[in-house]
Structure 1
Amino acid sequence: MDTPRGFNLLHLLSHSLLLLPLLTNSKTPPIQDEKSKIISRFQQYLQINTSQPSPDYQKSTQFLLAQANSISLESQVLEFVKGKPIVLLKWPGSDPSLPSILLNSHTDVVPSESSKWVYPPFGAHIDEEGNIFARGSQDMKCVGMQYIEAVRKLNISGFRPKRSLYLSFVPDEEIGGLAGAQKLASSDVFKDMNVGIALDEGLASPNENYRLFYGERAPWMLVIKSTGAPGHGAKLYEDSAMENLFKSIESIRRFRASQFDLVKTGLKAEGEVISVNMAFLKAGTPSPTGFVMNLQPSEAEAGFDIRIPPMANLESLEKRIAEEWAPTSRNMSFEFRGKGIPHDDQGRPLVTATDSSNPWWALLEEAIMKTNGKIGKPEIFPASTDARNFRLVGLHAIGFSPMANTPILLHDHNEFLNHAEYLRGIDVYVSVIKAYASYIPPRRHEDSRDEL
């Protein structure tokens, strides 16, 4: 049926007018739209499953190279160990003679038990409060992407660095970093980079103060073994393998309690004491249904994760292990499955100076405060990070992750970071990079003849 032309036009105009407010309101303000893009890029990185023991490094590498290309950074992929790529990005400075800045992060994350998470650990779900749930949201994909987003902002603003800026994304930090930061720090490529200061990961802070770390505890992975004659399950006798191991465990437990008391009473921070935690206990004679219950085993062993601050007396600890925890007089022995280095090659604590001898520390504090950030007391990192590899080659290295008012959830179930805190951290890095990349040390004037 034919409809009058006037009716069609009137109907169309009225329908368009009704839609106009809806279309206008549906537009996202430019600032809000840009924030959404920033969060989306973070989510994309988090959604790449780089958990140990089978991280998808190929996918993370492709993603990072695409990000580098989008902000015109130079890039290269290094493989000191096959299948373990290091993505190295560079923003060239105007004065190549000045030592460069290194912003380091690791691409791998620890495994997660998805059944114990509220949201899938690689879904990067954002809840109603703006919390982004994902493995790596705190440790430490947040920091790696904040580096990139800060450079993006600075690039758009027209800022040009005097010092060259390197962004390194290394593998395998969660399993010791042997194929990642350790290889990089000892390479000729690294020497040619002429790095003057390295920034690496820190920890979230439950309060308003950002946390800065100038050193870290070294990991000693200790395995204690005990032997003895097997015996009937009903027999009481001295020096069985299990009895001897229990004596050691009790001695270690008392030492652990004494160290923990120092923390609980506020006399020392967590990073300043020696921590000891049992990682495994292995004993018993296997049977088809489990273990033989009426047989005392002839061997038993236990593994301990020990973390040692740089100021600790290593000789005293080694003596304690040999004489109290695993004495040969009780048919015991011990070995280290890993032994981190808390001192340099001259026996000095492996730490970064926080006084006037290190201008990078003051520059970092000033840059953070310019963003209205607050800073807590300098700390020793309670675990270990890739920063130790840079300190071992004589560099200043500082641990810092801009996450205030955030529960510490690294390696925990339901790891998350609030989107507002993530965005705020980008602005902090904008300030830090600007300060570091523009820093020119004061010249040392020679004394005049008159002064001489």
Structure 2
Amino acid sequence: MDTFFYALFILSLLFSTRGADDDSSIVSRFQRYLQINTAQPNPNYYEAADFIVSQAQSISLHSQTLEFVKGKPVVLLKWPGSNPNLPSILLNSHTDVVPVEHHKWTHPPFDAHVDGSGDIYARGSQDMKCVGLQYLEAIRRLKSSGFQPLRTVYLSFVPDEEIGGHDGAEKFADSDEFKKMNVGIVLDEGLASPNENYRAFFAERSPWWLVIRATGAPGHGAKLYDNTAMENILKSIESVRRFRAAQFDLVKSGLKSEGEVISVNMVFLKAGTPSPTGFVMNLQPSEAEAGFDVRVPPTADQESLEKRIAEEWAPASRNMTFEFKQKVSVYDEFGKPVLTATDSSNPWWTLLEGAVKKVNEKLGRPEIFPASTDARYFRQLGLPAIGFSPMKNTPILLHDHNEFLNQAEYLRGIEIYESIIKAYASFERTYKR
């Protein structure tokens, strides 16, 4: 009897050791991906693509590399479903990350250092190399368990999201290759959650990058007269400031979340007459301009905002003009607001909720993403797209110094995706938005 229990004890040790080894290997693969420097403006895309393809080959996924723009590869992986007539599932992620200020990091941002608490410090640990590798690890587990998807599952690793996605997801979504995929649902990135509930996003705010210009006659620095360029630009800035404060008050009071209001932030002010020693101090300039990063939710009245800009922020009566450096419509190509339904009319949302609940976790209230992601290019085609990054009890550190993700949270996220992918890939009914 003692020998029997001793044997059981040894077997339990072996299984626990194997599990630890498996977790260690999973984290090690994540570290290898994080150690590839894909920071803008010079991302090492080819090394990242090679790594992704090698991981795909290790679990027998079909892979191809598309290059809509030279030097910017899109890696597309495929797990064929048993019923290719059903619309497919697309798991999208981006390979680039934002730049870093190395001297402001506790640990080098591309070392993927793991500290004593299990926190993995690296640029991209939250945004969003974690998600790309979690997709792959979840599929690795599903394939090992013998699961066969009913629907085909695609994984896309796209470039340039951090600079707008125009040479990445935008061209991919507009390509013949994408049309052939017959995509029915897209998963993309979300945000970390500081509390117990995972966050999921059904829409995002559209970027309107606005430049307002004022002109006026130049004059002596001591002269008082109306309608100078500086006076007019300051009136516009004050009008924008009041609007911003009113929107921000809605957030501060808890009446709306950040993603539900129109945000306006001034990002530059250009005025004055330069000289070799600075600016000319006794000359009022004839031109001035200010730039604003405006973000518009799909629930906003686009026409009303356009009217406000033309009549209040940059009226022609004050010698004002304006232009958009970028303006993304809040409507899709069918004239509908660019958002994904989050009620029973959308089975993909219901399946997501059920898959998260199945592993004893919870989703928070559906949200509008406060910034922009590649998901917008798929929503603009009329496709449902959900932003989701499984990180709970985690500070939001995307684009921040000392970005990190705890390895336990990373491993838990793989379990979450395993449940979601299984639910999505097993869904039999055809759904159209």
- Given the alignment of the two structures, is residue 360 of structure 1 paired with residue 348 of structure 2, yes or no? yes
- Given the alignment of the two structures, is residue 204 of structure 1 paired with residue 205 of structure 2, yes or no? no
How many angstroms apart in 2 are the aligned matches of 1:411 and 1:364? 27
Instruction: Kindly state the Cα deviation for residue 284 of structure 1 after the two structures are TM-superposed.
Output: 1.7
Instruction: Kindly state the Cα deviation for residue 412 of structure 1 after the two structures are TM-superposed.
Output: 1.4
Instruction: Kindly state the Cα deviation for residue 395 of structure 1 after the two structures are TM-superposed.
Output: 1.0
Residue of structure 2 in register with 1:292 after alignment:
280
Instruction: Work out the percentage of aligned pairs sharing the same amino acid.
Output: 72
Picking from 105, 129, 140, the partner of 1:152 is 140
SS at match of 2:72: coil
CA distance 1:245–1:435, change in 2 (3 Å): same
How many angstroms apart in 2 are the aligned matches of 1:165 and 1:100? 6
Picking from 253, 256, 267, the partner of 2:255 is 267
Residue of structure 1 in register with 2:5 after alignment:
none
Instruction: Kindly state the Cα deviation for residue 313 of structure 1 after the two structures are TM-superposed.
Output: 0.7
- Given the alignment of the two structures, is residue 165 of structure 1 paired with residue 160 of structure 2, yes or no? no
How many angstroms apart in 2 are the aligned matches of 1:231 and 1:68? 67
Instruction: Kindly state the Cα deviation for residue 117 of structure 1 after the two structures are TM-superposed.
Output: 1.6
Q: Considering only aligned residues, what root-mean-square deviation do their CA atoms show, in Å?
A: 1.6
Rg larger in structure: 1
Picking from 421, 427, 433, the partner of 1:433 is 421
- Given the alignment of the two structures, is residue 111 of structure 1 paired with residue 99 of structure 2, yes or no? yes
Residue of structure 2 in register with 1:339 after alignment:
327
Residue of structure 2 in register with 1:422 after alignment:
410
- Given the alignment of the two structures, is residue 194 of structure 1 paired with residue 182 of structure 2, yes or no? yes
How many angstroms apart in 2 are the aligned matches of 1:39 and 1:175? 28
Picking from 228, 234, 237, the partner of 2:222 is 234
CA contact (8 A) 2:214 2:287 kept: yes
SS at match of 1:367: helix
How many angstroms apart in 2 are the aligned matches of 1:405 and 1:414? 17
Instruction: Kindly state the Cα deviation for residue 143 of structure 1 after the two structures are TM-superposed.
Output: 0.3
Instruction: Kindly state the Cα deviation for residue 226 of structure 1 after the two structures are TM-superposed.
Output: 1.0
How many angstroms apart in 1 are the aligned matches of 2:199 and 2:295? 20
CA contact (8 A) 2:91 2:135 kept: yes
Residue of structure 1 in register with 2:296 after alignment:
308
Stretches of structure 2 that go unaligned for 5 or more consecutive residues are: 1-12
- Given the alignment of the two structures, is residue 377 of structure 1 paired with residue 365 of structure 2, yes or no? yes
TM-score (norm 1): 0.90
TM-score (norm 2): 0.94
Residue of structure 2 in register with 1:52 after alignment:
40
Counterpart AA for 1:117: W
How many angstroms apart in 1 are the aligned matches of 2:271 and 2:153? 52
How many angstroms apart in 1 are the aligned matches of 2:333 and 2:154? 27
Instruction: Kindly state the Cα deviation for residue 296 of structure 1 after the two structures are TM-superposed.
Output: 2.1
SS at match of 1:221: strand
| 1:72-151 to 2 correspondences below 5 Å | 72-151=60-139
How many residue pairs match? The answer is: 418
Residue of structure 2 in register with 1:10 after alignment:
none
How many angstroms apart in 2 are the aligned matches of 1:196 and 1:346? 17
How many angstroms apart in 2 are the aligned matches of 1:111 and 1:435? 36
How many angstroms apart in 2 are the aligned matches of 1:78 and 1:50? 18
Instruction: Kindly state the Cα deviation for residue 233 of structure 1 after the two structures are TM-superposed.
Output: 2.7
Residue of structure 1 in register with 2:377 after alignment:
389
Counterpart AA for 2:148: R
Instruction: Kindly state the Cα deviation for residue 442 of structure 1 after the two structures are TM-superposed.
Output: 8.3
Counterpart AA for 2:164: G
Residue of structure 2 in register with 1:446 after alignment:
none
SS at match of 1:372: coil
Stretches of structure 1 that go unaligned for 5 or more consecutive residues are: 1-24, 444-452
| 1:311-322 to 2 correspondences below 5 Å | 311-322=299-310
CA contact (8 A) 2:302 2:330 kept: no
